[in-house]
Structure 1
Amino acid sequence: MEPSNSLERFTDIIKSPTDHRHYAMVRLPNGLRCALVHDPDAQQSTAAVAVAAGHFQDPNDTQGLAHFLEHMLFLGTHKYPEATAYQDFTHQHGGHHNAWTGTEYSSYYCSVDATSFAAALDRFSRFFYEPTFNPEWIAKEVNAIESEFQMKRKDELRRLYQVHKATANPAHPFSKFSVGNFATLTENGDTTGLDHRMREFFATWYRANRMTLVLAGPQSLDELEQLAHQHFSAIVGNGPSASPEQAALYLPEQRAVQLNVRPLKDARRLILAFALPSIDDDYPYKTTSFIAHLLGYEGPGSLYAELHHANLINSLAAGGGISGSNFKDFNLNMQLTAEGLAKTDQIIMAVLGAVERIKNEGLEDWRYRERQVAIANAFRFQEPARTADLAPQLAINMHHYEPHDLIFGDYRMDQLNTTKARELLNLMHVDNLRATLIHREVEVDQHEPIYGTDYQLRPFTEEQKDKWRNAQTKSIQLPAPNPYLHPLSSPLPLEEPISRQPQCYQLAEGLTLWHLQDPDFRAPKAHIYCQFTLPNVTASARHYASARLWCELMIDRLNEDCYDAEIAGLHFNIYPQHYGITLHISGYSQGIVELSKDLLQRMRSTSFSDSRFADIKQKLCVNWQSALANKPLNLLFARLNVLLQPHMYALSDLAEALDTITRASFDAWHEQLFAAVELKLFAHGDLTPNVLKPLTDCASQSFSMQADLQANMPATRDLEQLKHAGKLDARGQLETHHSDHAAMLVIQGPDTSVLQQTNMLLLNQFIQPHLFNELRTRQQLGYLVGSTYMPIEQRPHLLMYVQSSNQQAEHLCDALDEFRQHFLSQFDDRIHDELEQVKGYLIRKLREPDTNLRLRSQRLWSTISPADVSFDRLEQMALELESNTTLFFIKQLAEILATTGHHGYITATPKEL
């Protein structure tokens, strides 16, 4: 078969008008289906493989084998036997890689600099036809799987997921334990038979006809096709064809049941799951998505509004749930109030009544056409994803969609499939319902042994079923026509002179507008940021807790009124930060100014009911008090922010402060919230100053501004001063309710100069794979090992971290310090070539163009938000890398590692209960 200009190539692939890429699909002689993506603007190339084999294919006596195989594939091939060869190569050529194992599919992907793509494929492709499965790594990777399992033992979603499996049909593969651990992968620690079982699994399922491949990058379609033939034709074909599972997901006695689950953290949640057949063949119609829209609607008169106004629920999400080749759970996931916890029967009655109303009145063409308009707008003006992110998604899509729908399949909505809708709605009844109630005080009588979760499965009573079978509702309304929803037109013409950087306008004392009509992303979309610098937010932990409560109350109060705008593509968020409060509005430019005006006015005038105040205060308090059970690394990142940034407060301090806030004291604080305000606006996208004028007028009329409030904010704290104050190097500083230990080495740059930022960014990129290979792969200290670069108010920081289920925090600190010292000893001419490659990658990365409007808005806002605004800092860093020799940076990085005055440790250890 000719590898280029093949007559077998398929190019009739539907794509968005905003998508500049070119697509094609080919099938290799071994049966491997391959999608080719030519992106002329991409600086990197990406390969992604999706295999139709996941934990459903695990043998019953070796559960977790598919996940274990995923780990082992990375650890050497016959041509490249060194365990770290692949990771080292991708890093040295500016790349990254990852993989995951799901129920029926596994995914592998890697990205590297385009010039190194062929060499990367020579390594990546061999995973799928000549892995070594080196026996010396089997025991180590079993330990890695065990470490991953232990790390997630207190993860609430994992615990709930395993109870779900334990209460499903044991003959269905969903019931298998997907992650695996020491007990399932070994025989009392003996790994003797694991090698054979892994090789047998690989030989059976990792066949070309069960795989899809995506190659994407700046190479032409012909070049990509040539690479596919050259590197992937060796994969063996003729594997068993993929076929749907045959066993039912649930036995009859596992339906019409209530499942009680006790979580570790305080929670009140009700999940109603209707057991449906597979919906794979319905993708052209999106029937379940349409039903979810009607049931999950949150506007006035909706199911959500009815239950929310009765103070029974805080949130409702419809349509989620597990799905596979022969099943789909249609979920309604609700967060309950204290009152709702006692009235779950009433909530279930309301949900079943809403289903009946939709069945009788909701299946109307105009409602479906509204969803078509919303989805068509999203597709026509979609913001292109990075090619590196797109490739793994397309590899999975190829298993589910027809070739021409490779991209469009996620958006396709042909027409209302009334027959299918009625079929599904007729299955959404009490005899096909599983109600999961999650709370720490529910009745339980069983213990799930893998994650240690207590639960109870009991059938609905006949009285409940009789009552619910006759559920009707008069009060719940179906959505009215959406006033915000209409087909979108082209963006506004660009105004002269065309600018590529935001322009600053000082509109009044304390009121600044930054504006950029984007010249590149020509779509009717925009982002508006409103940053309120407010001393009454940051003055103390009590003030900040009040602000967080106010933001949650505002969102809760506005969601219902703004839900139609949300459906039409206009979104908002309100959140506190260490300056004050930020309001962010995003979406289609048509209507965004009007929505922003409305939100600004409501920020001054909205009041809250006593019941919502009490419930949201209680919810926040519980979340903050239970935070010590979160992943220790997350707590260390939060702790570091509190240590380094003035006006940031620990969650435990916020919880303590919130507990003292009464309705009267909150109202008194609220009265003074906007007494001193400095407002900074940033408008970006399809907006002109003239279009923005009603918003800026509204801002100046609604708030009394003061100048220079932000300029008086204190600077980032110095690490050395913190050490002298005894706030660092106290090993065991943070006690958690999690069983893992964690340690973090913090290195702070001495100043905010471009050179120091460049040094720290370069050191992080250089050190990452060496740290991972040494502490994670070789020493097996923990599953989570890594480093990250973190600038705070332009002051650069390098963080190196480990989280472990089997090592004490003290030992982790010692291991990090030993690594630092050993790494420092290697800083001579031996590392010159590797560091030179890392430098080149960073220069390209720093100059990489923004891929969509959202990412550009985030980047520009992160520059505008601080008091010190500099739009060319990334270019300055690239120039710094270009203008200095690699030997210069070797000396710079060695000095950073050696100068311990700006080093410090923070650790997390389990609290003795």
Structure 2
Amino acid sequence: MNAVDSEHSKNLQSDHWRSFQLYKSLASENHPFHKFGSGNLKTLKEDPESKGVDTREALLDFHGKYYSSNVMRLCVLGTQPVEELRDMVEGLFNDVKDKGIDPPAFPGTPYPPSSLGRRLSVVPVREKRELELTFPLREVQTLYRKKPLKYISHLLGHEGVGSVLAFLRERGWANELSAGESRGCNDWSAFSVSIELTDDGLAEVDNVASVVFAYLNMLRAEGPQRWIHDEESTVADTHFRFLSKREPMDYVCSLAGAMQLYPSAHSVSGPYKMWEYDPAVITECLEYMRPDNVIMGVSAKMYEGKTSLKEEWYGVEYNAEDVAPALLKKWEDVTVDDPNLKIEDKAKLSFPEKNDMIATDFDLRSHPPSFPLDEPRLLDDISTLRLWYKPDNIFSMPKINVMAVLKSSLAYDSPENAVLALLYVDILREHTTSFSYLATMAGLHCSFVNARKGLELHVSGYNHKCDKLVQRIVDAMLELPAKLDDEVFARIKDKTMKQYQNFMVGAVPYQHAFYGADLILEEGKWSVPDKMGALDGLSAQDVREWSGRFLRRFKLEMLIHGNASPAEAKRIADTVLDGLKPSAPFQAHFPQRHTYIHSFDEYNPSDPNSCLENIYQIGRVSLRDNAKLAFLNHLLQEPAFNELRTQEQLGYIVHCSIKTSGDDVKGLLILIMSDSYHPSYLDDRVEAFLDRFRSKLVRQSVDEFNSNVDAVVTNFFEKNKNLGEESSKYWSGINDEKYVFRKYKLIGEEVQSLTREDVLRFYDRYVAQGGRGRSKLSVRVVSKAHKEKMESDGEGKGKDDNEEESATTTIIGEDDVVNFQRSMPLHSLPDGVDVEGMRMKSDDDDDADDAVEGKNSTP
């Protein structure tokens, strides 16, 4: 019960959980959807005790009634023969009784008429402005062969020319939009349109809703379009045909859930394929999406102090009122030809254009016979380009991954340039939406990331139209400065400022702890206040000038992996270089036997949770020490969770992992987020746990130790499940500029030879109190409640964080971070790597050109 209460406490400041419970509260009190969904000590302990109810007995009664084999579905995945797997299942589950029960049914939607045609004005935790239109409707699970809501969500959620989002962006009313099924049950479902508003959009929120209803009215008036369904069906068939392998745990969970929804024959294909076109069911579902059947939710800080209602479980402050009849009538009648819904004919609402990015060529490329297939090889290495290439010789999929970074110090050498890079990427992402969204719908995805080394571009999916997408991206980068107008810049600048503000106030304490640690560990990392200050004075012209400087001088490093020949890989790289025509351009280390404490107040005073993050820094390590760290982390995870969370109940979130900062500097990380205890006390408990852990490690039997070695080795030797997973490992080796592509296998080989004495010596040096190599950073995020308790009674389960500095302890104040960074010695940069030995032989290029002509058909 304490664990459930702690989890609920974690979610109290989450707008997602708060909104979900608010919408539940509007349901009929007689419907189970109305109930409190999480539970806390009041509902699980205090209220039952006051009524003489034993919660545990009630839980056992519930289990006894509903734990029945006829309503259970089981999926088992293994390498053993099916007969052996079947015997295992029968041995483990044979005692589960078939009680012949029927799951409870609650026909109809949970919302009474009095909850529909209503407007909610909600005060959020985060600085956000959002409109959500929710329509309860019939169940659609039985319509899985037709998927009417997929058709509707495709059109309402479209981002290309003629879409609702394109229109709203043109008016300066919205930044983002999503649409789709938001609730799916046996008896009912719900469809929601969520829109991230601008300040102008919030002021015009009724007109924003008018745009959505105008589009819905157009869909009803024009009727379902067969060609749109056929496009969706074609893409769905292709996606299912070339599904990539998933993590086994995720896959079996997904299949077990699908078995509850689909007949056995369609348990695998049911979530993907669209077998039938049925305009009647599309029309039926559209009929639910009318103004008198909507729940309109508007979330904004502007409602703070102006509300009269409060939700019971999360304390959400809101108002609820009927939408004015005149406004309902306006929404009922509005059309896409309404004079108020036109902008010089630039963004008229319409059906999307036909998708020219759908792949039709799925032939597999032959790789050069002489090409070494174990890791990427250099195709080109000049002053402006380093091109890595590896054909897919494992998965036999018509897919490609293109990973590129445009390296330049202009991406992060000052807070101003870091923000300009972020703005440029966000503006570019929006500018490319007209074609990138079509590509995404067709299974070819692109993304832009502003990184410390430069700007990253990733393209992944079916290879057929990859070169076409890359060419369009390059064209968009070239034309962006001329097409960037002040209104678009102002909207994205405002959005960026809101994101910074939301991180300071809306992120949870453990995220603030990670952030605080990164500021200490990574030399030259700019703080959020630094970036907010830089952002404030920037203009659209600054972005135009920055993009010109950036694109004139950078080095392109690129990996092309998958269904492409060397010649095709070179053409993709040349598309970028020939288009952009660049010229060539050009972390913290802690002393040992020392503890650093960085304590600061939680930015959100309403969040009851504090957080402790301890990092035991190891440094830039060899493969051997990497193996020791990975093995130690594996040994710690289960006992850390069991002792600190389950037994001591210190907090709902207990996390142990390997921390990587800067240029591959490693450390061991232990984190606890708690609504019950001050971080100082949590630190005491972590150190006590680590002391106990060493004793257990000493007593561990040889068989136990070897079993753990096998588990870790299996993880490192695990085969890549899909092309993306393999590409990510190669890109990691390129991005850290070490170019060790078999790192995971090499670390696994080192783990195989570890002894208990190796691990104990490593632990005693870097983790144990008094260890000669121990360098500890303790980041402590203190909630307002815990700080006040500490100040009021001097107790609060722990010593004050205002400890005196000593020869072995340094206190880093919140205002001392930059000076501390500058005073710290740095780890040496990674050694340079001679990549010439990784170059492909020149005659392979000739073989490769010939291989383009030799194609094998996909089975």
TM-score, normalised to structure 1's length?
0.81
Equivalent residues of 2:122, 2:297 under 8 A apart:
yes
- Per the alignment, residue 136 of structure 1 pairs with none
Equivalent residues of 1:321, 1:330 under 8 A apart:
yes
Q: 1:411 to 1:377 in 2, by over 3 A?
A: same
- Per the alignment, residue 431 of structure 1 pairs with 292
Say whether residues 1:317 and 2:193 are aligned partners: no
Equivalent residues of 2:431, 2:476 under 8 A apart:
no
Say whether residues 1:346 and 2:207 are aligned partners: yes
- Per the alignment, residue 591 of structure 2 pairs with 720
Deviation of residue 315 (structure 1)?
Answer: 1.2
Q: In the aligned structure 2, how far is the partner of 1:744 from the partner of 1:239?
A: 50
Q: In the aligned structure 2, how far is the partner of 1:626 from the partner of 1:419?
A: 44
Q: 1:830 to 1:368 in 2, by over 3 A?
A: closer
- Per the alignment, residue 463 of structure 1 pairs with 326
Pick one of 215, 218, 228 that aligns with 2:89.
228
Pick one of 762, 765, 785 that aligns with 1:892.
762
Say whether residues 1:788 and 2:657 are aligned partners: yes
Equivalent residues of 1:276, 1:330 under 8 A apart:
yes
Say whether residues 1:328 and 2:189 are aligned partners: yes
Q: In the aligned structure 2, how far is the partner of 1:297 from the partner of 1:666?
A: 28
- Per the alignment, residue 904 of structure 1 pairs with 777
Deviation of residue 537 (structure 1)?
Answer: 1.4
Q: 1:827 to 1:275 in 2, by over 3 A?
A: closer
SS in 2 for 1:317: strand
Q: In the aligned structure 2, how far is the partner of 1:702 from the partner of 1:508?
A: 17
- Which has the larger displacement, 763-772 or 834-843? 834-843
Q: In the aligned structure 1, how far is the partner of 2:694 from the partner of 2:602?
A: 29
- Per the alignment, residue 480 of structure 2 pairs with 606
Percent identity of equivalent pairs: 24
Say whether residues 1:851 and 2:721 are aligned partners: yes
Say whether residues 1:670 and 2:547 are aligned partners: yes
Deviation of residue 705 (structure 1)?
Answer: 4.8
Q: 1:638 to 1:600 in 2, by over 3 A?
A: farther
- Which has the larger displacement, 563-572 or 899-908? 899-908
Q: In the aligned structure 1, how far is the partner of 2:591 from the partner of 2:69?
A: 57
Deviation of residue 650 (structure 1)?
Answer: 2.5
- Per the alignment, residue 812 of structure 1 pairs with 682
- Per the alignment, residue 109 of structure 2 pairs with 248
Equivalent residues of 1:500, 1:519 under 8 A apart:
no
Equivalent residues of 1:750, 1:756 under 8 A apart:
no
Q: In the aligned structure 2, how far is the partner of 1:735 from the partner of 1:429?
A: 42
Equivalent residues of 2:216, 2:286 under 8 A apart:
yes
SS in 2 for 1:212: coil
Deviation of residue 859 (structure 1)?
Answer: 1.3
Q: In the aligned structure 2, how far is the partner of 1:644 from the partner of 1:605?
A: 39
- Which has the larger displacement, 446-455 or 318-327? 318-327
Deviation of residue 489 (structure 1)?
Answer: 2.3
Higher relative contact order (CA 8 A, sep 6+): 2
Deviation of residue 892 (structure 1)?
Answer: 2.6
Equivalent residues of 2:379, 2:566 under 8 A apart:
no
Structure 1: gaps of 5 or more residues: 1-141, 710-715
Q: In the aligned structure 2, how far is the partner of 1:823 from the partner of 1:425?
A: 60
Q: 1:561 to 1:703 in 2, by over 3 A?
A: closer
Q: In the aligned structure 2, how far is the partner of 1:707 from the partner of 1:754?
A: 33
Equivalent residues of 1:745, 1:801 under 8 A apart:
yes
- Which has the larger displacement, 831-840 or 793-802? 831-840
- Per the alignment, residue 698 of structure 1 pairs with 575
- Which has the larger displacement, 858-867 or 792-801? 792-801
Amino acid at match of 1:262: V
Say whether residues 1:170 and 2:39 are aligned partners: no
Deviation of residue 758 (structure 1)?
Answer: 0.9
- Per the alignment, residue 46 of structure 2 pairs with 187
Deviation of residue 756 (structure 1)?
Answer: 1.4
Q: In the aligned structure 2, how far is the partner of 1:621 from the partner of 1:148?
A: 30
Deviation of residue 700 (structure 1)?
Answer: 2.6
Q: In the aligned structure 2, how far is the partner of 1:881 from the partner of 1:568?
A: 43
- Per the alignment, residue 70 of structure 1 pairs with none
- Per the alignment, residue 315 of structure 2 pairs with 452
Say whether residues 1:473 and 2:344 are aligned partners: no
Amino acid at match of 1:144: A
SS in 1 for 2:498: helix
- Per the alignment, residue 863 of structure 1 pairs with 733
Q: In the aligned structure 2, how far is the partner of 1:418 from the partner of 1:696?
A: 45
- Per the alignment, residue 370 of structure 2 pairs with 497
Pick one of 474, 496, 505 that aligns with 1:620.
496
Pick one of 275, 281, 287 that aligns with 1:420.
281
SS in 2 for 1:480: coil
Amino acid at match of 2:731: W
SS in 2 for 1:719: coil
Amino acid at match of 2:229: Y
Pick one of 708, 728, 739 that aligns with 1:838.
708
- Which has the larger displacement, 317-326 or 735-744? 735-744
Say whether residues 1:218 and 2:218 are aligned partners: no
Q: 1:647 to 1:730 in 2, by over 3 A?
A: closer
Deviation of residue 454 (structure 1)?
Answer: 0.5
Deviation of residue 784 (structure 1)?
Answer: 0.4
RMSD (Å) for aligned C-alpha atoms: 2.1
Amino acid at match of 1:576: N
- Per the alignment, residue 680 of structure 1 pairs with 557
Q: In the aligned structure 2, how far is the partner of 1:466 from the partner of 1:199?
A: 52
Q: 1:835 to 1:734 in 2, by over 3 A?
A: farther
Q: In the aligned structure 1, how far is the partner of 2:578 from the partner of 2:546?
A: 22
Alignment of 1:44-123 (within 5 A): none
Q: 1:819 to 1:554 in 2, by over 3 A?
A: same
Equivalent residues of 1:744, 1:907 under 8 A apart:
yes
1:816-839 C-alpha deviation (Å, 9 max, x unpaired): 112122223444243544332211
Equivalent residues of 2:485, 2:540 under 8 A apart:
no
- Which has the larger displacement, 632-641 or 256-265? 632-641
Structure 2: gaps of 5 or more residues: 338-347, 789-859
Q: In the aligned structure 1, how far is the partner of 2:162 from the partner of 2:699?
A: 71
Q: 1:470 to 1:704 in 2, by over 3 A?
A: closer
SS in 2 for 1:246: coil
Q: 1:489 to 1:763 in 2, by over 3 A?
A: same
- Per the alignment, residue 60 of structure 1 pairs with none
Say whether residues 1:875 and 2:750 are aligned partners: no
TM-score, normalised to structure 2's length?
0.86
Aligned residues: 763
Pick one of 485, 497, 512 that aligns with 2:358.
485
Equivalent residues of 1:373, 1:486 under 8 A apart:
no
Equivalent residues of 1:731, 1:810 under 8 A apart:
no
Deviation of residue 529 (structure 1)?
Answer: 1.1
- Per the alignment, residue 149 of structure 1 pairs with 8
